[in-house]
Structure 1
Amino acid sequence: MKLLRVLLFYCISLSAFANADLMLLQNYDNQDIRGWVMSEKFDGVRGYWDGKQLISRQGQRLSAPAYFIKDFPPFAIDGELFSERNHFEEIASITKSYKGERWDKLKLLVFDVPDAPGDLFERLNVLKTYLNEHPTPYIEIIEQIPVRNKAHLYEFLAEVENRQGEGVVVRNPKAPYERKRSNQILKLKTAYDEECTVIAHHKGKGQFENVMGSLSCKNERGEFKIGSGFNFSERENPPPIGSVITYKYRGLTNSGKPRFATYWREKK
């Protein structure tokens, strides 16, 4: 029976669609996390390996060179393409290159094996077993640390931020991999950030008369404008309509809209 489940898992992974939905995080807001685990949230580019190719969060094929993926497993793994902290722009530039240059600087830091059976640790152990027989310097499994209590969680957050890390991911290890925004995996940061889709550009005034002054975007919170956080170059060449951007904010208004939304960057 166990062998049958493993074989079924391999078949499901190999038939995964390039634009398969991924497990996405919600915000930590004092939820009950007894029995959960935590790990650093790495500020890189999402990389989903479907057993044959690397795919971005938007479902686009990433042009990873043959040497990078030659020992990747024949089943799906989900993670973050990463090099080092505070190097997001360089990471994004590498993953966008069609020439496959500088990929030797990156690793796929894996946080789940989506189609494997069992809980999180059992799923990750499938990859660990594979890597023991097919070692590669380009895959690393992210350590999952059991959370003792909320004080432990915030102590870990402080450690991560002191190392210039982005934040912490806390998740229920007994939960399955869900291809949606899940309340079983949460992010915790000092500053909030979310994503939205650009739906309109608005001409500026005064010093921004000839460039974009603000943009409108939309997500599950509705439609709202963002007018700050852009440098002049970004106002001259704003994120295209239809693109996904990340913004920072300081809590929510009474109507549920982000308060003091500030542009951070375009989602890669």
Structure 2
Amino acid sequence: MSRLLQTLLLAALLGPALEVGAFTPPAMLLASTYSPSLDVGRYLVSEKLDGVRAFWDGKVLRFRSGRVIAAPAWFVAALPQVALDGELWIGRGQFDRLSGIVRQMQSDDQVWRAVRYMVFELPGGQGSFVERNKRLGEIVLAANVPWLIQIPQESPIDRRHLELRLATVVAEGGEGLMLHRGDAPYLTGRSDTLVKMKPEQDAEARVVGHVAGKGRHAGRLGALLLETEDGLRFKLGSGLSDALRENPPAIGSKITYRYRGFTSRGLPRFASFWRLYDE
């Protein structure tokens, strides 16, 4: 189904929710990557959930692209009339299943019963993150619905404690940790007030070309030509499934890749395709 047809169908389903400007991305805080020089004592720590970022403006639930999420009426009707930021989630290692659920043009009540809205921030809220986090807990408690959950936050004792927590989460099937500076006011854009800590780093890049395959990949995709936010270009051939090589991501679309550090030229080292970009 084409993106245009998807948009028209969604507009028919959601009516007034998709007016002009509905696809404007909401201003959100974006995470930086963990550095060993970080003063971890200033941060609260939570598990990094492998979910779909969702922004609730008090009336409409949206992907971070600004596109409306076709959640069931009962799911959104129970949410408070204040802005929330969080992740739609159903469990560790379930991203593909979750993505299939929340991206449907028409929601399936039965499968949505497994979805939880795991919230961690009050957009536009006053005070420090510690103060907003306390207020968030009060809001979630007052809503009193099982699908709205506050992500637990804790203070690390020191760097060794943080590294042990990361190792435990990863061993149990988790993705990593999120560190949010406790004294930080509410901010938007990319900032080191929110930091992700993972065994492997990940980032997004836009597909700007398809490189033809050779040898056993002759006649299909050999690699993606990608461009980062900084304008750097590189080829990525690792991690691509046979299905993606036969039907590659469209030029202009975005993907998420994993990597381990950078080369002397500033390009991601050992880059590997992870998944299509989570809107």
TM-score computed with the length of structure 1 as normaliser: 0.90
1:212 and 2:218 aligned: no
SS of aligned partner of 2:42: coil
1:128 and 2:151 aligned: no
1:224 maps to which residue?
234
Inter-partner Cα distance in structure 2 for 1:25 and 1:151: 22
1:262 and 2:272 aligned: yes
The code of the aligned residue for 2:60 comes to: Q
1:151 maps to which residue?
160
Whether the aligned pair in 2 keeps the contact of 1:18 and 1:55 (CA below 8 Å) is: no
1:27 and 2:33 aligned: yes
SS of aligned partner of 1:129: helix
Shift of 1:18: 5.0
Whether the aligned pair in 2 keeps the contact of 1:18 and 1:61 (CA below 8 Å) is: no
Against the structure 1 CA distance between its residues 228 and 17, is the aligned structure 2 distance closer, same or farther, given a 3 Å change threshold? closer
Q: What RMSD in Å do the two structures reach over aligned CA positions?
A: 1.5
Deviations 1:163-214 (A, max 9, x none): 1000001120111222211111111111121111111111111221211111
Correspondent of 2:114 among 94, 105, 110 = 105
The code of the aligned residue for 1:192 comes to: Q
Shift of 1:81: 0.5
SS of aligned partner of 1:126: helix
Inter-partner Cα distance in structure 1 for 2:159 and 2:100: 37
SS of aligned partner of 1:61: coil
Deviations 1:78-131 (A, max 9, x none): 001100101110010011111211111111111101111111132233333233
Bigger Cα displacement from structure 2, 59-68 vs 114-123: 114-123
| Structure 2 alignment gaps of length 5 or more | 1-21
The code of the aligned residue for 2:104 comes to: S
The code of the aligned residue for 1:158 comes to: A
Inter-partner Cα distance in structure 1 for 2:41 and 2:245: 45
Shift of 1:26: 0.9
2:65 maps to which residue?
58
Moved over 4 A (4+): none
Inter-partner Cα distance in structure 2 for 1:226 and 1:234: 12
Report sequence identity in percent.
38
Bigger Cα displacement from structure 2, 128-137 vs 143-152: 128-137
Spell out the pairing of 1:169-180 with structure 2 (5 A cutoff).
169-180=178-189
Whether the aligned pair in 1 keeps the contact of 2:126 and 2:186 (CA below 8 Å) is: no
| Structure 1 alignment gaps of length 5 or more | 1-15
SS of aligned partner of 2:31: strand
Shift of 1:36: 1.2
Inter-partner Cα distance in structure 1 for 2:78 and 2:133: 17
1:11 maps to which residue?
none
SS of aligned partner of 2:138: helix
Correspondent of 2:47 among 37, 40, 43 = 40
Inter-partner Cα distance in structure 2 for 1:27 and 1:227: 24
